[in-house]
Structure 1
Amino acid sequence: MAKKDTPTDPADMSRRQQIVATYRMTKQTDKRIGLWLLGSFLLFGALGFGLFWILPGSGIIGLVMSIVGGLLFGFLGMMIVFSRRAQRTAYDRMAGQPGAAASALTMLKRGWKSDPVIAFNKQQDVVHRVVGPPGIVLVGEGNPHRVRQLLASERRKHERVASETPIHEVVVGDGEGQVPLAKLVRHVQKLGRQVKPAELTDVLARIKALDANRSAIPMPKGPVPTSMKGMRGNMRGR
């Protein structure tokens, strides 16, 4: 009987499959990931063993607790290091690809509504939208000068339907006044809480009406990076 293929969509994978897939992807560019994981396991494991060893207890029970504590600390430390290095590798692989910002925005937790590619031009500059506690966040990626024109156009459209809702503009990039891809999610989260959860429903309804009136336009050409939701679920648990 032929062996079943491993699902390519992270959402269809088991947690073990996600870990294996993430490790393989990371190892392609981070050749020392195995050494980092081994080192972090030993370091945190030794720390956990030491902490539990000095706790009240002696004999076999104290030794067993120290071993268990060392293993728990070791695995915890290893997963933290794995998460950080895997995330950095994912951002490095996505950098410069069309739709990279949209893929990064999938790392936002519950309470955020992300809509990729709500506007773009012939040069493949795009604008994504996120709605959450800060209000409406318009995220542009592409040529800084052209994308700011797109952002300004989208701001005017959103102000017509949600004039009382704060609207933020973010340009992804490594230049002055731009936000690096790896820091995009944290930057968006730090915009503050300016809209109450009860108000988000009304904001989303207004935006839905805006999108319904948009003319049907084709999606921009080119590959869009894989969503990072699978990796987030893998690293943080489900």
Structure 2
Amino acid sequence: MADQPEKVSFIQRIKQIGQAFTFTAKRDKVFLPLVIVAILLPLIAVAALVTFTELGWWIIPVGILMSLLAMMIVLNLRVNKAVMNEAVGKPGAALALMDMIRGWTTTPAVQVNTHQDMVHRTISRSGVVLLAEGSPHRLKSMIAQEKKRVSRIAGNAPVYDYIIGEEDGRLSVRKLRSTLTKLPKNLTSKELAGLIKRLEAISARSAPIPKGPVPGNMRAPKGMHKAMRGR
């Protein structure tokens, strides 16, 4: 079934942001220096305004809020890069990254074989995108089969397909976000909702995901993607 939004409490959100912070700090040497700069610059600017202008101390809370906002911007940018670097060349890379891209509804492993080659399906107002991971030779027939099945109910929605990988002729996970962002908006919100319902109806007949977890060394802490998604 496609990923559904989950309600997260304030405490859970704080914990998830903390996990994202720890995850990024362990993998990005420049992250902590950037965070320190992001926090200090607004505070220094506010201190200068208070000292050299007639602005009162009421502006200090504004500086604190600006520091927190700057820190979150740095965290969002660097955690995305850290997850992407971890994902490169590992199984499940495309699926892990799709969880961080807002506006896409993703169904994992709608086509899968015994070699654990997989085709994931993701949907947005741009249309349907099939993201394949594995051997290109084996994936060709899997992509064709899923494309044929989706096209029957997709209506006017275009169906794109990409084979994910770092070799020539494949789409690097580093370019996945930018590639999807550049796709034109082909559907209205109402058309998208109808398409999602139709595709969810056929997902029940999809092949099950093979047993065995995605390698742990490429996975961000549980819930971290949801904490950062859409920021």
Give the TM bin, normalised by the shorter chain.
0.7 to 0.9
Deviations 1:127-176 (A, max 9, x none): 11012201111111222343333222211221233353211112222233
Alignment partner of 1:140: what SS? Answer: strand
Task: Tell me the percent identity.
Answer: 31
Match of 1:107 in 2: 100
* C-alpha contact 1:104 1:227 (8 A) present in aligned 2: no
Instruction: Point out the more displaced range, 76-85 or 126-135.
Output: 76-85
Q: Kindly tell me: are residues 202 and 82 of structure 1, through their superposed partners in 2, closer, same or farther at Cα, counting changes over 3 Å? A: closer
Contact kept in structure 1, 2:117 and 2:133, CA below 8 Å: yes
**Aligned residue in 2 for 1:43:** 41
Q: Structure 1 runs of 4+ off > 6 angstroms?
A: none
User: TM-score, normalization: structure 2?
Assistant: 0.78
Corresponding position of 1:140: 132
1:138 corresponds to which letter in structure 2? L
Q: Paired residue for 1:167, among 136, 159, 166?
A: 159
Residue pairs, 1:1-238, within 5 angstroms: 14-47=12-45, 49=47, 52=49, 58=54, 62-110=55-103, 112-214=104-206, 217-224=207-214, 226=219, 230-235=223-228
> CA–CA distance in 2 between the matches of 1:27 and 1:92?
13
CA contact (8 A) 1:104 1:228 kept: no
Moved more, 197-206 or 130-139: 197-206
In structure 2, the CA distance between the partners of 1:119 and 1:39, relative to structure 1 (3 Å rule), is same
The whole-number CA distance in structure 2 between the counterparts of 1:153 and 1:198 is 27
* Displacement of 1:182: 3.5
1:222 to partner: Cα distance: 3.5
Partner of 2:4: none
The answer to whether the Cα contact below 8 Å between 1:134 and 1:191 also exists between their aligned partners in 2 is yes
Q: Identify unmatched segments of 5+ residues in structure 2.
A: 1-6
Measured in 2, the distance between the counterparts of 1:155 and 1:236 equals 28
CA deviations over 1:191-237 (Å, ceiling 9, x no partner): 121112222243234323433445xx442244226578833443469
SS in 2 for 1:14: helix
1:126 to partner: Cα distance: 0.8
Shift of 1:47: 4.2
C-alpha deviations, 1:83-104, integer Å up to 9, x for none? 2112211222233332221121
CA RMSD of aligned residues (A): 3.2
Is contact 2:38–2:70 with CA below 8 Å preserved after alignment? Answer: yes
Is the 1:97–1:223 contact (alpha carbons within 8 Å) kept by the matching residues of 2? no
In the alignment, the residues of structure 1 paired with residue 162 and residue 190 of structure 2 have an alpha-carbon distance, to the nearest angstrom, of 25
For residues 115 and 162 of structure 1, the distance between their equivalents in structure 2, rounded to whole angstroms, comes to: 15
8 Å contact from structure 1 (residues 37, 81) kept in 2: yes
State the number of aligned residues: 221
CA distance in 1, matches of 2:193, 2:98: 20
**TM-score, reference length from structure 1:** 0.76
Distance 1:203 1:235, change over 3 A: closer
Q: CA deviation at 1:32?
A: 4.3
Gap regions ≥5 residues in structure 1: 1-9
Looking at structure 2, the residues matched to 179 and 237 of structure 1 have their Cα atoms a distance apart, in angstroms, of 23
